Structure 1
Amino acid sequence: MLGVLLLAGTLLPGCGSDRPDPADRPDPADRPDPASTVTGPPPALWTFCPEAGRSPCAELGGPSVGPVGRPLEPREPTASPATTPFATLQLNLCNSGLAACYAERNNGRVVAEASEAITVLRPQIVTLNEVCRDDVVTGLYPAMVRNFLGDQVFWAFQPTADRADPSRAYRCLNGEAYGIAILGRVRAAAWSGLSVFNGRFPQQGDGPDELRVWLCVAAVDNYYACTTHLTFSSTAMALRQCRRLLEVEVPAMRAEVGSAAPALVAGDLNLRDDGTPAVRDCVPAGHRHRGDGNVQHLITTDDVTLGPTRRYPMRHTDHNGWYVTIRP
């Protein structure tokens, strides 16, 4: 599967999850024309289809000031997160309506709780797992906008794929697409555009599990932010998916965009610090890691320093929020 990239108004070849493992790369001529796989009515909404007609598309909305893709006038370089402290918040909301944790804890109350967490903690990046599309667009994105009025604020959503028909999005009980998402903020003075990368893992677990996906947004010259929710059916398979994202997809994305900005991956990896395999088996050389003591983790390139962390109590999901500060 090939992701599709939108970068400052120019369509470029993407890097989705059909990018091969290093030992088995296809001929670049096999890539589809990216212009044929971008749909949607800009500037309000963009869609990114890693494999047109065969895998669910990602969506990108916002930012709050200036349309994505608009050519920008040349500007002087500005500070990046490497010199400007910021924070990330990882949330698994258990909001499909199908999992046992929904009836046990949630019952429709978690989105308001998550919005409050965003308002209180003011993270610049929020990574979201087990969410329905409208949870992101109408429930949580407005909290980010309120926190950072006048700055560029965006949302991106990637549905997981239905095992019965991988071209379709897996659905929440309410019928909405179900998946993963990223909320982000870029200071207005540092804005250089957005690029989206997305795909379905070629490695998948067995059983009733939905087909797992990954999503990255490059806030050009500022940061690369990625999220995923790895399979629960096999820790060995979760490790393969994790390595695929960190060792193949993220480096390919950084090479494609050409920015030396820091990169981070946050999500429910279904790998533990003390497991076999352990999450450390997925952390490449030259990266830093902070885990919540369970299955939620943040992995970053080592050009940033990870500061204080915090487990943020969440009553209406089975995962507390995982808040990590990043500093010079």
Structure 2
Amino acid sequence: MSVRLVLGVVLGLVAGAVLPASGASAATTVKVLQLNICHSGLVGCFTGDRVITKARAVIGANRPQVVSVNEACAGDVEPLRQAMGAARAVFVAAEHRNGTPVTCTNGQSYGNIIMVAEGLAGTTGQTGRYTSQDTSDEMRVWACLPAGVLTACTTHLSARSGSSALAQCGELMARAVGYAASGPVVVAGDMNLRYQGNPNVQDCNRSGFYRKGDGSVQHVFASTSLAFVSGTKISMSGTTDHPAWLVTTTLS
């Protein structure tokens, strides 16, 4: 699996900036918000920029420390990061087989975002393309922001092949196990896999981690150093075809 060090797309405030409540009010609380915003314009769930307005409102109301966003355009990074306050972000574009980025209908690169509150975030992101892929021309990818107080990753797995999605999930969770040697880890995304489905998303879980899903295809995996508190589905009011999925944990 190739790994790309990401420097230019890691966005943040200058060192020493005063942190807002999203990063500092309760240092032991880690809320992980998973969003699939269907903002590419390529499929029927697209509702235009209404979804960005709604996502910003959900972020502002729930004040998560980690936000995972799927089916985003590159231009969505900054407005969503601003909704978090002081945060760092990594964007990874899905790729065609020839290595060029998949694009939204507005011409921007299409892919996934991982954002972490400044007080918890590392400084250098990593992204990669999975070894296992289905037969479509969209190559699935992952992005992580490691080496902070915690490591956070996002992904959007194959929608065409359950076996490919499970293999991709296994690849990313193997990486998560490596990150967990240095501290807490969360992995979030639209996995296109269901609990007790065929295949079963639980089969890609690893020792030292647990999984919490929204009852459908969005899941958060967390290392056991993050104690589970609650999981909450949040309506996106018809702006996308998935609810927001909020998992609250505490550092133990």
Deviation at 1:108, TM superposition (A): 2.6
Question: How does the TM-score come out when normalised to structure 2?
Answer: 0.90
Amino acid at match of 2:135: D
Offset of 1:244 from its aligned partner? 0.7
**Is the counterpart of residue 218 in structure 1 residue 168 in structure 2?**
no
1:166-315 equivalence runs, <5 A: 166=99, 168-187=100-119, 193-208=122-137, 210-220=138-148, 222-247=149-174, 249-254=175-180, 259=182, 261-314=183-236, 315=238
Q: Which 5+ residue runs of structure 2 have no aligned equivalent?
A: 17-23
SS at match of 2:159: coil
Distance in structure 2 (CA, Å) of the matches to 1:201 and 1:219: 21
SS at match of 2:87: strand
Distance in 2 (alpha carbons) for counterparts of 1:225 and 1:98: 27
- Partner AA of 1:234 in structure 2: S
Matches within 5 A, 1:1-328: 1-5=1-5, 46-47=7-8, 59-62=9-12, 64-66=13-15, 84-102=28-46, 106-137=47-78, 139-145=79-85, 152-163=86-97, 165-166=98-99, 168-187=100-119, 193-208=122-137, 210-220=138-148, 222-247=149-174, 249-254=175-180, 259=182, 261-314=183-236, 315-327=238-250, 328=252
Distance 2:142 2:88 in 1: 17
In structure 2, do the counterparts of structure 1 residues 272 and 117 end up closer, same or farther at CA, with 3 Å as the change threshold?
same
Aligned residues between the structures? 242
How far off its partner does 1:254 sit? 4.9
Runs of 5+ in structure 1 lacking a partner? 6-37, 39-45, 48-58, 68-78, 146-151
Which AA in structure 2 matches 1:243? G
Q: Equivalent residue for 1:43?
A: none
How far off is 1:198 after superposition? 1.2
Aligned 8 A contact 2:228 2:248 in 1: yes
Between the aligned partners of 1:85 and 1:201, the Cα distance in structure 2 is 31
- Residue 4 of structure 1, CA deviation: 4.2
Deviation at 1:252, TM superposition (A): 3.8
The offset of 1:98, in angstroms, is 0.4
Counterparts of 2:125 and 2:66, CA distance in 1: 15
Q: CA RMSD in A?
A: 2.0
- The structure having more radius of gyration, on CA atoms, is 1
> How much does 1:195 deviate?
3.0
